[in-house]
Chain A
Amino acid sequence: MKRAVLIAVPYFWLLALFMIPFLIVFKISLSDAALAIPPYMPTMKEGLGAMLSQLDFENFIFLTEDDLYWKAYLSSLKIAFISTVFTFLVGYPIAYAMARAPTQWRATLMMLIILPFWTSFLIRVYAWVGILSTEGLLNRFLMWIGIISDPLIILNTSTAVYIGIVYTYVPFMILPIYAALERLDESLIEAAEDLGCSRMKAFWLITVPLSKGGIIAGCFLVFIPALGEFVIPSLLGGSGTLMIGKVLFEEFFSNRDWPVASAVAVILLIILIIPIILFQRNEQRQQEAEE
């Protein structure tokens, strides 16, 4: 009895805050747009039976017909994937250096990684506008030291989006990798060297495989939110960068086409569920390996 109550709490949480909203969104995605409040029909006002009979998959069919949507999905997947790779390339060396730093330094370094979270995410992304714009800090600095004579156009390109995503999500990459590397016993590396490995080889054969769990966790923690990212592409990416988060926003607020927007959201959720399941499975396997 007690156990049932205990288990009921998270289930209720999921039901109230995930399942019910999802079902509402799913229902809207099956409706038609209308000039009304709310801006779709049918609603419950007509009775449950009548409402259910008018629902159809029209909006989902529409998504396949207009190439904007699948292009946006593909572009999002591409941007999320490339950003994850870059975040990994930036994050791994930082995590490695942190794990190899003297013990008394590690807490400070960890603090420095977490510190940016104390400032609003929006403000931090806005700050990049000031850095990357044609009259921004970066261009002025590069022109001042004489590397370039004309300002580079970075803002409102996909480069700026990559910079923004890498900057924002790199702590999510660093923390799980750092956790994996910090646990790594230094004597394993020495044992590998003792058995004939060079430093580099020992890194490949021991350090990398043993931090695999952290790498996978970090990549998912970056990839999943980056896929649906809206703020970074709309602030830094300009109109040229197509991302599904932005499309979703425009459908809802500019077009006021809630049913199509809901259909976009449902598809996005389905795309996201796949990596989330993979992520969960990785975590589980990790725990089993550790016992």
Chain B
Amino acid sequence: MVETVFAPWEDPNASPLISFKNVTKRFGTFVAIDDLTLDIYEQEFFALLGPSGCGKTTMMRMLAGFENPSEGSMSLSGQDIAGIPPNKRAVNMMFQSYALFPHLSVWENIAFGLRRDGVAKDALSARVDEMLKLTRLEKFARRKPHQISGGQRQRVALARSLAKAPKLLLLDEPLGALDKKLRQDTQFELMDIQEKTGTTFVIVTHDQEEAMTVASRVAVMDEGRIVQVATPQKIYEAPDSIYVADFIGDVNILTGPVKATGAETYTLDFGGAAPVVATSERPFSDGQTGHLAIRPEKIGIHAERPDAPNTVQGKVLDIAYLGNLSTYYVELPNAQIIKAQTANTQRISRRAFTWEDPVWVSWSATAGVLLDQ
């Protein structure tokens, strides 16, 4: 049996749940969203990732109905939603501040949306109890929001926004207020709940780790534009610009003129002793400036010159011990610094290198991505 991979964005026949077409949003002269086109499919867990002020929150607020696009069109399951007020949309939002109603109990908070729809009493209490169970809040139903912990509040906010079974759930930095440990647990809980309910989630976050963990696809945004939309793996391993490569995770960039040496293989002269070799599906003309982006964990560090396509000598400038990993900052003869990462797989071992040690760093021809911008 072939397991089907969930990838509706690769299916040309799939119709998107949400579709942005050339959407622009201006606040006065400030352009928050700049000519943005994007499709999001049903049951996706879609992450909008970017630095603050990149327009991700504006996009979410447009989906919720709090802002209207200045230009372009937005549709939800084929229906144009521009101008439809938030209370008439099958979209619910989980607010960054949670926005729990302080004068209502947890139970009443979750029931709030259902009450507005005039759901019958029995169905209403059954639905609220279901939500309480889903978010493991049964014990706290009678408490007021100020009588429960931050993590519990976060779950109440989630339960409240899911209670009406929206087509689309928007989550604005949902885990921002939680401490790291709780955040990690909650990420998996979110994915679990998303899978159980089958709701389409759009999450806004500035935490790349969070986006990578939970999302089926990640959109990296910058200054009102989407720079790249892809699966977390693609975003990490095959970024299509320096901005994305640099924004997600750690990266070394070697810049210089590129020369073709064969089919999809190039050399790049970054100013070291010898040009480095890299493969690229993206075509480059001879002499064009290229940027080779290599993740630190793909770079090996050795005392002797190893047998590898790319080897460069340098000396250890700094060592960052992170517990599970160690990052070596290696200074090359041209003063460029390359980060190389090794996993600390042995509990008791002497560090192989120390400051000022001469070392060789090496990587394969396919380890890096050759970028033109």
Residues of A in contact with B (beta carbons under 8 Å apart): 185, 187-188, 190-198, 201, 206, 209-210, 289, 291
Contacts and interface: CB of A to CB of B under 8 A. Distances in A.
A223 B160 CA distance: 40
Nearest to A212: B103
B101 A197 contact: no
Given A195-B112, A196-B117, A206-B101, A190 B87 contact: no
Contacts, number: 57
B112 A192 contact: yes
B97 A187 contact: yes
Contact of A198 (B64, B87, B102, B117): B87
B95 A191 contact: yes
B93 A191 contact: yes
A23 B88 CA distance: 65
Q: Which of A193, A197, A291 gathers most chain B CB within 10 Å?
A: A193
A91 B202 CA distance: 42
Contact of A187 (B85, B99, B113): B99
**Does more than half of chain A's interface fall in helix, strand or loop, or is it mixed?**
helix
Contacts of B96: 187
Given A190-B86, A209-B103, A210-B103, A195 B95 contact: no
Contacts of B92: 194-195
Contacts of A198: 85, 87
B87 A197 contact: yes
A198 B117 CA distance: 12
Nearest to B144: A289
Contacts of B112: 192, 195
Interface string B161-177: 10010000000000000
A215 to B, nearest CB: 13
Contacts of A188: 99, 101
Interface residues of B, number: 24
B103 A196 contact: no
Given A190-B64, A194-B64, 19 more contacts: A185-B97, A187-B95, A187-B99, A188-B101, A190-B99, A191-B95, A193-B86, A194-B65, A194-B86, A194-B87, A194-B93, A195-B113, A195-B161, A196-B113, A197-B87, A198-B85, A209-B103, A289-B146, A291-B146
Interface string B74-118: 000000000001110001110111010111000000001100110
Contacts of B188: none
A22 to B, nearest CB: 39
Which 9 A-B pairs rank lowest in CB-CB distance, beginning with the nearest? A196-B116, A195-B113, A191-B99, A187-B99, A193-B86, A196-B87, A209-B103, A194-B93, A194-B86
A195 B103 CA distance: 16
Interface of B: 64-66, 85-87, 91-93, 95-97, 99, 101-103, 112-113, 116-117, 146, 160-161, 164
Contacts of A185: 97, 99
Contacts of B101: 188, 191-192, 206
A258 B164 CA distance: 70
B66 A195 contact: no
Contacts of B86: 190, 193-194
Given A209-B103, A210-B103, A291-B146, A190 B113 contact: no
A291 B144 CA distance: 12
A104 to B, nearest CB: 16
B301 to A, nearest CB: 49
Contacts of A197: 87, 116
A187 B8 CA distance: 34
A208 to B, nearest CB: 10
Contacts of B160: 195
Contacts of B95: 187, 190-191
A201 to B, nearest CB: 7
Nearest to B92: A194
B18 to A, nearest CB: 16
Nearest to A206: B101
B85 to A, nearest CB: 7
A45 B286 CA distance: 120
Contacts of B113: 195-196
A199 to B, nearest CB: 8
B97 to A, nearest CB: 5
A183 to B, nearest CB: 10
A195 B116 contact: yes
